[in-house]
Homo-oligomer: A and B are copies of this chain.
């Protein structure tokens, strides 16, 4: 599995809680150990991205804005990665053109 950045883990937790979720559901959807989830829940609640309403965790307004911005960011990252691959190929073509004919 690819290593996830902190930002990605937080986004995964918020996505899992987008429509209101209990802890076990978040754990499952965000693919986190109980221990790691506990650590992150403290963090995202302190950051005012998530709140709990009894057993159910739900996004705050700031959490919704974060998720929207994250999705936009994520799409751009994917698009640019593809463009970088294309450019690398174009560079190779140019380098080959510089070889002895």
Chain A interface residues (CB < 8 Å from chain B): 6-7, 10, 43-44, 46-49, 62, 65-66, 69-70, 72-73, 76-77, 80, 83-84, 86-87, 90-91, 93-95, 97-101
Given A76-B83, A80-B80, A80-B84, A69–B90 Cβ distance below 8 Å?
A: yes
Partner of A66, one of B62, B94, B100: B94
Q: Is the CB of A7 within 8 A of B98?
A: yes
Is the contact region of chain A dominated by helix, strand, or loop, or is it mixed? helix
Which B residues touch A65, using CB under 8 A?
A: 97
Closest-CB distance, A101 to chain B (whole angstroms): 4
Partner of A77, one of B47, B87, B93, B99: B87
